Chain A
Amino acid sequence: MSETPKQSVQDKLEIDAMSVWYGETCAVRSVTLAINPRRITAFIGPSGCGKSSVLRAINRLNDLVPGAHVHGKINYQGHNLYDEQVDPVELRRRIGMVFQKPNPFPKSIYDNVAYGPRLLGIRDRKSLTAIVEHSLQQAALWDEVRNDLHKKSGLELSGGQQQRLCIARALAVEPEVILMDEPCSALDPIATQSIEALMRDLVHDYTIVIVTHNMQQALRVSDYTAFFNIRKREQDGVELRWGELVEFGATKQLFEEPQHQETADYISGRFG
């Protein structure tokens, strides 16, 4: 980093003309948007519009999918994340991920949360315990599990607790950004509520990007919303489908005064 721009500008995640491909198929084309630090940005849109692909491209989880490739840039802290010098392993530690289906490891609660710190080489029992406690507190799970840390497997928790455990696990490696891929779609309304409240708490310290199918959720929790939609074209008798970013702006503005007819149709429930 030769220059030191202002903190807020530097921590911005700038997605610049990015396209995600799976083999010969384009999932999402030419997305440009900037994700503001310490804010919640929601990606909404119908199934297949590429919002999850964009999310997974941010911490390069798409690298694991055979045949997946990304064009364009994502600038973060003065680097293009797809540069050759960027280590995807270190990147994923700094940009954490919470998945659609809670996926605790088949280990104790303690070992689940301590997994990340241990990967980083922290062996000292005392520091590990401190990290586990702090992370579980941040994820509002501490009071419910404090007596079962070693006794219970992460898999024995309820769905909502499991998802909060996954959030605690992500927090334990002290990321800067947390990506959430439909974190509440497998949960009941009460568990959803607690996760949403948790997001509002966490946003004071973290940048959060959430993919959601639930427009009410986007409206409730996010500061900014990006609406993606599907584009189709007939070519040689084959129908090609891909996603595109339609509109991006402050959530309130996007829901109250959408700039595009498509957006208005979608948020009013006319399709999707």
Chain B
Amino acid sequence: MATVTQQGNRGSLTRRQRISRLWSRVYQACVGLAALALVILLLKIVDDAFGTVAVVNVVDPASLVSQDGRSIEQQNAEELAGLARDYLDEEGRHFVSTDRLFTLFLDEVARTELPSSALRNLTVGQALFSGQNFPQKWADRTLFELRLPDVARVERDARARADIALLLAGNVEQGRLLELVYNDIVQVELLESWNLIDSLTRQDEIRARAARDFPQATLEFRSWLNADFLRTPGSSQALTSGIRVALLGTLWMLVIAIGVSLPLGLGAAIYLEEYARHANNHRLLRLLNGFIETNIRNLAGVPSIIYGILGLTVFVRAMEPLTSGQLAGVAGADGRTILSAGLTMALLILPIIIINAQEAIRAVPQSLREGSYGLGATQLQTIARQVLPVALPGMLTGVILSVSRAIGETAPLVVVGAATTIFVDPDSPFSRFTVLPIQIYRWTADPREGFQDVAAATIIVLLLLLLSLNASAIILRNRYSARARRTL
């Protein structure tokens, strides 16, 4: 009989231990590589999102001082309005544009809390500027007319320019005019932007280069991710670009997608788990149910672009009267709205929600159902009072995971028609839209200085959103499994 110190046919003990150590190193290396890839990704993003920038004012504020030497902060509304008048720019490319003035007026009126569709048809004389502070001849014009060629034409007319200055001075607060002067006349222009690592390690080099190439410019450290970045819409300038519209678009889309797919998905899961396998069902029905179940699993693996094409065909084109808002009485242009996007996304996450909810329902111990039936509960009562309460956290985990999927999807929305450039907040399901990943895609591809950094800041926002959602899914799941352990 062999003793414990004798070797069997597994080779010597030391050799076995060596091999075991080797493999544990290999597995460690796998983990290490994966972690390294993640660290590099995060570093790259952070590197872009913060760093030194060289900025210069397009118009030196010193040249805007009043005749008696007061700086622009000290000037009154009338003087600031005069500046705006002087820098009114027909093309709207460099200085104060007529579009900009129009939004400024709208903002003033918006304080009356009128819906924006009603604003367009309001005449200048109606409630707008307290009836006095505008040239009488404009009283009957609608705000919308103010924006279009009328104003563009009057730009060339010195008297009309004076009218505009009067309009501004009489109706817009000094603070907002100051903002206008800063943003549209003084303007901060981005000359060059350096990454975080360069900014930290090569400070002297950067300073020397800036002094040589941009003697006018000031160097400052900038976090591209800041409060204004979240609050402002996109812009043609990297410095003033924000993600407000994309963030709102993402939220709108999620609300619609979840609103549609949650009830559908949970309902389907309850049917498949609690009713489909019922003994009394006809054989054909059971076959059909099995077929459906298999295909839901397949659908979860379909590339998202296919869903985009489906959405384009069904929601954007076939259901255009509904998705464009025609049926709801909104004069929308076409079906490429946030509603179409939300519905497409709902289809995309539906299989994920169904599968996760099915798993959660299946995890409810059969003994609970039997206990309930044994007391004379009907099937409905058993589902509502035993199955759903126990399965709910698991179901929610699935929903949150599918939301994270929906937040990051880009391809189907490109097909469904996400706008690439849009500066107006979405305010109804029938608005045109853009979402965070689309903005990232667009800004990443933008060759102008600074937009890479804007994209990086947007990626951080997206990642933070995703991380917080996943974290809540994990917390829910942990709670759930703790409870499940007590049940079993």
Chain A residues close to B by CB (< 8 Å): 59, 61, 63-69, 89-90, 92-94, 96-97, 99, 101, 103-106, 115-116, 119-120, 153, 155-156, 166, 169-170, 172-173
Contact = CB atoms under 8 A, between A and B. Distances in A.
A90 B376 CA distance: 6
B375 A170 contact: yes
Contacts of A170: 374-375
Interface in B361-390: 365, 367-378, 381, 385-386, 389-390
A97 B279 CA distance: 21
A103 B373 CA distance: 12
B279 A67 contact: yes
B307 to A, nearest CB: 34
Nearest to A116: B375
Contacts of A96: 374-375
A105 B373 contact: no
A68 B278 CA distance: 11
Contacts of A103: 365, 367-368, 370-371
28 contacts: A61-B373, A63-B279, A64-B373, A65-B279, A66-B277, A66-B279, A68-B279, A69-B279, A89-B377, A90-B376, A93-B375, A94-B376, A99-B374, A103-B371, A104-B371, A105-B371, A105-B372, A105-B386, A106-B389, A115-B385, A116-B376, A119-B378, A119-B381, A153-B486, A170-B374, A170-B375, A172-B375, A173-B375
Interface of B: 277-279, 365, 367-378, 381, 385-386, 389-390, 483, 486-487
Nearest to B485: A155
Given A61-B370, A103-B371, 20 more contacts: A59-B374, A63-B279, A64-B279, A69-B279, A89-B376, A92-B373, A94-B376, A99-B371, A103-B368, A104-B371, A106-B390, A106-B483, A119-B376, A119-B381, A120-B376, A155-B487, A169-B371, A169-B375, A170-B375, A173-B375
A99 B370 contact: yes
A46 B280 CA distance: 31
A238 B417 CA distance: 63
Contacts of A119: 375-378, 381
B369 A64 contact: yes
A124 to B, nearest CB: 19
Contacts of B390: 106
A108 to B, nearest CB: 13
Contact of A92 (B277, B375, B487): B375
B486 A155 contact: yes
B417 to A, nearest CB: 46
Q: Among B278, B376, B377, B483, which residue has the most Cβ atoms of chain A within 10 A?
A: B376
A170 B372 CA distance: 10
B376 A92 contact: yes
A197 B487 CA distance: 27
A106 B385 CA distance: 11
B375 to A, nearest CB: 4
B375 A115 contact: yes
Contacts of A115: 372, 375, 377, 385
A199 B414 CA distance: 70
Q: Among B277, B375, B386, which residue has the most Cβ atoms of chain A within 10 A?
A: B375
Of all A-B residue pairs in the complex, the 9 with the closest CB atoms, nearest first, are A93-B376, A97-B374, A103-B367, A116-B375, A103-B371, A66-B279, A92-B376, A155-B486, A119-B377
Nearest to B371: A103
B212 to A, nearest CB: 73
A66 B374 contact: no
